[in-house]
Structure 1
């Protein structure tokens, strides 16, 4: 038999709170029920997410998660990001809800995925469909057998697994701090900037705005040639998003 469909049922604190958030991402509420149990369905094209509300539910203690496979992770990320900027004036990069940027992960075969952590604390993990253009591009850019990886590149791989897959932002930050202290003067500029931008994002998830500002200043001060800037286009766009969030979060001058 073929054509089966699997739909996740995810917990939340309030079906109205969850629906408002997903509308920002371009979803439509196709079903809403308050009795006997609060329940809602959010749909965006072929992505369907079902949510049920629980009394006393704590999003911080949620284990809710699901995989969503899409043809183009980059395009979907940009669409979600546009909705967030329009609704909130910034990309949500820390706290709950939030969204991570697409990054390759060694524990997924170097596929570039990103996650949305919604108001229910659910991790919606988005990756390329088998056979999609974005998946083929990810696999085509993998290092060949025996390719040597720099210390910072290896640290980034490990930090991304901890930060993006496990949500252990503190340990991910420690790994990067160790690598940056050891290799910041010898690492290729592109790898250094990628590590610094991710470190700034981790700092913001940990509520350390001063550390984020310090690291973003190092990004701005790192000399880059035109070829480097082209290679780092998405990473530098991420740095600009982080700077915008920091400006928005600073209290107005008295």
Structure 2
């Protein structure tokens, strides 16, 4: 048989909050019931997510998670980000719900990925489908890039922003003459994102200011463009 479909069933405190959030991301409701148990089924093209409500459920303590494989993580992230901007005036980068941006994952053979943390505390982990990818993935080289890769594993994969901060702060405290300026921008912007996750707006503002002051060549400016796009989203969230 080749037509099987697996659909994750995830917990939440309120299916109404879940519906409101996922509608922002372009999902629609296919099934919704209150009895005998609160339950909702959501769909966005071929992506199906189902949720059940638990009285007294604490999203902060949730272990709910699932993996979504797609052929184009950048396109899906842009669609989700566009929905957030239209609904909230910004991309949600802190609190719950929130969304990380696409980054290569050291613990997933360098495949790109991002996560949506929904109102139920569930981590929807979106990855590039390796089976549909013909170009081999290599992790960036260099001291700062390696520190960033380790920090991404801690925060974007494990949800440990504090450990990611320790890794990044250690790297930033030891600048070297041969550090790649584009990588420096990316690290500073990621440090700002971590600060937002930890509700530290002062540090987030400081890191964005530092990133804006990094001197870049024309080539480095092109390579740093995705980081500056993220910085713009963070700055909007700070306002």
Determine if the TM-score, normalized by the shorter chain, exceeds 0.5.
yes
Match of 2:218 in 1: 226
Alignment correspondent of 1:124: 124
Gaps of 5+ in 1: 248-254
TM-score when normalising by structure 2? 0.97
- TM-score, scaled to structure 1: 0.91
Moved more, 74-83 or 238-247: 238-247
TM superposition shift of 1:220? 0.7
Find out whether 1:206 has 2:186 as its counterpart.
no
Structure 2 residue aligned with 1:9: 9
Give the drift of 1:209. 0.2
8 Å CA contact retained: 1:111, 1:128: yes
Q: CA deviation at 1:235?
A: 1.3
Aligned residue for 2:147? 155
- Please report how far the alpha carbon of residue 233 of structure 1 lies from its aligned counterpart in structure 2 after TM superposition: 1.6
2:157 matched to which residue of 1? 165
Task: Report the 3-state secondary structure (helix = DSSP H, G, I; strand = E; otherwise coil) of the residue aligned with 1:183.
Answer: coil
1:174 and 2:176 are equivalent in the alignment: no
What's 2:107 paired with?
Answer: 107
- Aligned counterparts of 1:116 and 1:170: Cα–Cα separation in 2: 19
Q: Residue deviations 1:180-233, cap 9 Å, x none?
A: 110265411011111101000000100100000001000111111221111122
Pairing 1:193–2:180 present: no
Asked if the contact 1:77/1:101 (under 8 Å) is kept, the reply is yes
Q: CA–CA distance in 2 between the matches of 1:156 and 1:129? A: 22
Aligned residue pairs, count: 239
Deviation digits for residues 51-110 of structure 1, max 9, x if unmatched?
Answer: 000010000000000001111100000000000001011110001000000000110010
Tell me what 1:250 maps to.
Answer: none
Cross-structure match for 1:94: 94
**Contact 2:148-2:168 at 8 Å conserved across structures:** yes
Equivalent residue number for residue 59 of structure 1: 59
- Aligned equivalents of 2:118 and 2:176: distance in 1? 35
Gaps of 5+ in 2: none
CA distance in 2, matches of 1:176, 1:185: 17
Mapping of 1:234-245 within 5 angstroms?
Answer: 234-245=226-237
What SS class does the counterpart of residue 125 from structure 1 fall into? Answer: strand
Alpha carbons 1:152, 1:183 under 8 Å: kept: no
